[in-house]
Amino acid sequence: METLFYYLAVLQIAVGVYLVWQGLRWVEFVRRRMQGDPGFNAPRAAVLCPCKGIEPGLERNLVALTEFDYRNYEIFFILASASDSAYSTVKRVADHCKPTAHVIIADKPEGCGEKVHNLRVAIEQLRAEFEVLVFADSDGRPDKFWLRRLVAPLNDKRAGAATTMRWLIPNGHSLGSALMATWNAAIVTMLSEKGKNFCWGGGTAIRRSVFDEVRVLDEWNHSVSDDYSMTRALQRAGRSIIFVPECLTAAYVDADLQSLLEFTNRQILITKVYSKRNWALGALTHFLYCLTLPLGLAVALMNLFATLPAFHLAILTFVPMLLAAIRGGLRVSAAASVLQSARTQIAGQAWMYIVLAIFIPYLFLFNFVVSAFTRKIRWRGVTYELVSPQQTRILAH
């Protein structure tokens, strides 16, 4: 058992050092992008925001979408039903905002996710004058330069899409919120300057001509995941996805343990269905990390009780944890530099992203185990069965 631990510890330290180096490069990339100028080109854009239910800060989130420093856009808020609890808030924001805003009722979906259905209905109604489609989520709160910066990379006609990611900020001090924010922070750094990026549905811009060319609407048929399906369509066509870290989007959360598990299990199961290779690699990576720490503790204690040298075993167990904490610190440093309006709050919660980063792989491992035995998710009150990327069953509304 001690020999196995040595192998695992050396592997985890090597991987950890590599990831810290990657993290340093990621921070440098973020800061370099923050100094860039998005320019003045502003193609006519349709900002599409599906809405469902009341969530923390909903009205302020929607108002943020109406305050972009961008002269040439319209907003489309989409709901499945006028009886939705969010409808009155959405209507009030749409009626009193400066840019032109529309409220679209998409009705219930059949054989696909509600969000995907809402987007399909809205896009099919768009006038031909819109050159760019921009996807936003109702739980995000982007700053006023967000739209200009997100659209800017599309000036390069070779680009497939530009995307960003959420940064979750706990509203309170609940464990569920802290774990959800730390869990999500690890996802943020999966996107990079030259990596194999994926679209995020809460912040992606794509030229309408590219959207049609790669046949995203066809990929959305019977899909529950708008962003993974768009990613698949772009990858199949050989189109690049550009990560725009300067558009990192603040999202304020107030989660209990039940909503934490519902959210994290859903994300990993969707990954399994739409990207099995990434799912398998992630499962193996987290399993090895989660095995190394308790194995090191057990071996160190066994040696200690047998009056054998144990200090070096404790050090080998501690170093991977230290490297995980350093990665957490790098993430929060970069996020604070981007999200200036929330910088004080993020800095005050920095300990959370650093300390919990050591243990968050165990939550990931739990998510991977759950996803291995089910294909059902619950998303905003609707239960789905994900049969395949091209087949979704709606089990209960």
Q: What is the pLDDT of residue 186?
A: 94
Bridge partners of 379, per DSSP, are 382
Half-sphere exposure of 177 (CA within 13 A, CB side): 14
Complete DSSP assignment for 107-154: ---SSS-HHHHHHHHHHHH--TT--EEEEE-TT-B--TTHHHHHHGGG
Q: What angle do CA 228, 288, 377 make, to 5 degrees?
A: 35
Per-residue pLDDT of the chain in tens (397 residues, 90 and over written 9): 889 999 999 999 999 999 999 999 999 999 999 988 887 788 999 999 999 999 889 999 999 999 999 989 999 999 999 999 999 999 999 999 999 999 999 998 888 999 999 999 999 999 999 999 999 999 999 999 999 999 999 998 889 999 999 999 998 889 999 999 999 999 999 999 988 899 999 999 999 999 999 999 999 999 999 999 999 999 999 999 999 999 999 999 999 999 999 999 999 999 999 999 999 999 999 999 999 999 999 999 998 888 888 899 999 999 999 999 999 999 999 999 999 889 999 999 999 999 999 999 999 999 999 999 999 999 888 899 999 888 898 887 7
Q: Helix 360-372 and helix 175-188: axis angle, to 10°? A: 80
> What pLDDT is recorded for position 173?
83
pLDDT at 133: 98
Residue 266, pLDDT score: 96
> What pLDDT is attached to residue 33?
92
In a 3-state reduction of DSSP, which class is residue 103?
strand
Domain 37-165+200-255 in this protein, CATH class: alpha beta
Return the pLDDT at 22: 94
- At 160 the pLDDT is 96
Closest by alpha carbon to 206, among 253, 255, 166, 244? 244
Instruction: Break the chain into its structural domains and give their ranges.
Output: 2-26+276-385, 37-165+200-255
What are the Cα distances from residue 245, in Å, to 28, 166, 224, 339? 11, 10, 26, 10
Non-local (6+) Cβ contacts of 291 within 8 A are 8
